[in-house]
Amino acid sequence: MSGSVVDSPDPWVADHIRRFVESDGQAREGIDDLLLTTRGRRSGLLRRTALVYARDGDRWIVAGSNRGGERHPAWYLNLVADPAVTIRIGATDVPAHARTATAAEKPRLWGLMVAAMPSYQAYQEGTTRDIPVVIIERAAALAGIG
């Protein structure tokens, strides 16, 4: 993905992104965060947000919690429209592909996310929306290269 990146308009998230970049991903001790860049489904702009992740082998798992809100977060809608994403882990950018976990995959992966960030369970209990779990894989791994 090339072009200038627009950070989240949410002040807390924008500040978190800044701290993440300044610390090479060490902004919050004991919490695994990544930066996710998607292409805006309407604007075409590159949009960046910070997310907690869990590992599942070579894959990164994130949840579209939107803090328990009744709508999916914009980043989730963006990656559904265009699954080509970039993630930043520490100081490394990784071209990747994102997809929503299937109904069969979700229970185990949701457990990983709740273990990583227990507040996700309260978010799910506080909304009627089914919080999606997203699987992110290296683009090269999908092509059989890496």
C-alpha dist (Å) from residue 112 to 69, 74, 78, 117, 135: 21, 23, 23, 9, 12
What are the pLDDT digits (tens) for 38-80? 999 999 999 999 999 999 999 999 999 999 999 999 999 999 9
Q: Which fold has domain 5-139?
A: Pnp Oxidase; Chain A (2.30.110)
How far apart (Å, rounded) are the C-alpha atoms in residues 50 and 66?
A: 12
Residue 45 makes CB contacts below 8 A (sequence gap 6+) with: 3, 6, 39
Residue 126 makes CB contacts below 8 A (sequence gap 6+) with: 68
pTM of the model: 0.91
pLDDT at 145: 44
Per-domain boundaries in the chain: 5-139
Task: Tell me which of 81-85, 109-113, 133-137, 140-144 is least confident.
Answer: 140-144
